[in-house]
Structure 1
Amino acid sequence: MLDTRRNISLACALSALAGYVDGIGYLYLGGLFVSFMSGNSTRMGVNLAQGQWMNAAEAFGVIALFVIGAAVGSLMVLGRGVHRQPWVLLVEALLLVAAGLADVFGMPNTAIAAIVLAMGLENAVFQIEGGGGLGVTYVTGALVKVGQLVAAALTSGARWGWVSNLLLWAALVAGSVCGALAYYWINLAAIWFAAGGALALSAIVAVTVHR
C-alpha cells in the first residue's frame, strides 16, 4: 500500500485526520477513543471486571458504531475500482459535517456517533479485494512494521523501507496534538476543521485518480 509517494502522502493525511478527530473524541468522551478500538476494547474489559456496566456499554456502543462504519465503507468500495477513494472520502466528509451540525443543534451524542461512523468508514480508502488493506485510523500495525522493517534493514533488506510506516505514526500523533488544541479552543465545534479537511482530500483524490 505504501509503495508510491501518492499513497504515502494520502495515508499520512488520513492518519493525521484520524489523529485530529481522535484527540477531540478522547477529550470529549473522557478517555474513550473514536478511532482506536483496541483501547476501547481494553476499557470495556476493565469496566466489566469492575462492574461498571454503563461505562462498558458506552465503550461497546462506540465499538459497534465503528464496525458499522467499516462495513459501510467496505460496501462502498466493492466493485468500484480506482474511483472508490474519493467517494469514501466524500461520505466521510458528509458524516463529519453532520457531526458539526448535530453539535450546533445541541445533540452531542449524535455528533459523536457520526464521528465514529466516519472513522470506521475511513479505513476503506485503501481496502483491497477480499477485505484486507491498510488501516489509517490506528497505527499499532504501522509500528510493528517499523520494527520488522528496521530488522530487515539491518539484515541486508531495504535500508529505508521503515520510514513510510514511521511517517504514518508521526502523522497520527501530530493530528492528535492539533485536535486536542482545537478542542480546548472551541470544544466539539473543532470537528468542522476535520470536515473541511476530508472534503478537500476527497477533491484532491478525485483529481489525481482521473489523472
Structure 2
Amino acid sequence: MNSIDRSRRRLAIAAAGLAGFVDAVGFLSAKGYFVSFMSGNTTRLGVDLAVAPHRAIVPAGLIAGFLLGVFAGALLAIRFETRRKVAVLALVTILLIGAALAHAAGATTAMPGFLVLAMGALNNTFQRDGEVTVGLTYMTGALVRFAQGLAARIAGSGGEGWVNWLLLWLGLALGALAGAYALLSAPGIALWLACLWSLTLVWAARGITESTRNT
C-alpha cells in the first residue's frame, strides 16, 4: 500500500470493500463457505474431510474456482499490461453480472461459481513484476503490517504508512457489513449493487490509467 500513490490506494481500499461485500453475500448464500477467503475454505476442507467427507467437494470446488479466476485474471493482466487494472476489473464486473443473473434465475450452484471466479481475478488488480503488491481479498498480511508499523511508530523506528494498512482492512470490513445488510434487506438487488460498485471501479481505474499516460 505504501509503495503506490494516493489515487491507487483509494482504488485498492474501494476494491477491498467490493471483496468484502461480495464475500459476505457469498458467505450467507453458501451456508458458511467463502468466495474470496481461501484460508477459511481450506480449513473447512480439512474439517469436512475429517467429519463429513461428502461435503468436502464444496470447499474444494470453491478453491479450484478461485484458482481458475486468479489464472484467468493473470493472463488478462499480461495481455493488457498497460491497462491491466481496467482489463482485470472489467472481467470482475462481467463475472459479477453472471452471478447476479444466476441468482435471479435461481441457479444456486452457478452463482457462487461466478463469485469465486470474480474474487480470484480481482487479486490481479495490483501487480508488479508478476507479483501481487496489494492483496484485496485477504487481510491477515494487512493487519500484521498495520500492527508492526504501529509498533515501529511508537518505538520511534519508522512505521510510516501504518494507517494505510488499517484503511485497507476497514475497506474489507465495511464492505462485508454492507454486503450482509444488502442481502438480508434486499436480496434481489444485492449482487446488482456489487456490479455497479465494480463498474465504478473500472471507471476509476480508467481515469488513473489515462492520467498516468498524460504525465
TM-score (norm 1): 0.94
Percent identity between matched residues is 39
**Residue in structure 1 matched with residue 57 of structure 2 by the alignment:** 57
Aligned-partner Cα distance in 1 for 2:87–2:130: 19
**Residue in structure 2 matched with residue 202 of structure 1 by the alignment:** 202
Aligned-partner Cα distance in 1 for 2:172–2:109: 24
Q: Residue type matched to 1:56 in 2?
A: A
Q: How does 1:32-43 map to 2 (within 5 A)?
A: 32-43=33-44
Number of aligned residue pairs: give it: 210
Q: Is the 1:96–1:194 Cα contact (8 Å) retained in structure 2? A: yes
Aligned-partner Cα distance in 1 for 2:25–2:182: 8
**Residue in structure 1 matched with residue 144 of structure 2 by the alignment:** 144
**Residue in structure 1 matched with residue 193 of structure 2 by the alignment:** 193
Aligned-partner Cα distance in 2 for 1:188–1:155: 50
The 3-state SS of whatever aligns with 2:65 is helix
The 3-state SS of whatever aligns with 1:157 is coil
Q: How does 1:156-171 map to 2 (within 5 A)?
A: 156-158=156-158, 160-171=160-171
Q: Is the 2:33–2:41 Cα contact (8 Å) retained in structure 1? A: yes
Q: Residue type matched to 1:95 in 2?
A: L
- Could you tell me how far 1:20 is from its partner in structure 2? 0.4
Gaps of 5+ in 2: none
Q: How does 1:117-156 map to 2 (within 5 A)?
A: 117-156=117-156
Q: CA RMSD in A?
A: 1.5
- The structure-2 alpha-carbon separation of the partners of 1:169 and 1:39, relative to structure 1 and needing over 3 Å to count, comes to same
Q: Residue type matched to 2:22 in 1?
A: V
- Could you tell me how far 1:149 is from its partner in structure 2? 1.1
Q: Is the 1:74–1:131 Cα contact (8 Å) retained in structure 2? A: no
Asked whether 1:11 is paired with 2:12, we answer yes
Asked whether 1:99 is paired with 2:116, we answer no
Gaps of 5+ in 1: none
**Residue in structure 2 matched with residue 22 of structure 1 by the alignment:** 23
* Structure 1 residues 114-171: Cα deviation after superposition (integer angstroms, max 9, x where no partner): 1110000000000221333221011111001112212221333335421000001111
- The structure-2 alpha-carbon separation of the partners of 1:201 and 1:112, relative to structure 1 and needing over 3 Å to count, comes to same
Q: Is the 1:21–1:179 Cα contact (8 Å) retained in structure 2? A: yes
- Could you tell me how far 1:187 is from its partner in structure 2? 2.5
* Greater CA drift, 123-132 or 13-22: 123-132
The 3-state SS of whatever aligns with 1:64 is helix
* Structure 1 residues 76-117: Cα deviation after superposition (integer angstroms, max 9, x where no partner): 112533311011101100110111111222212111101110
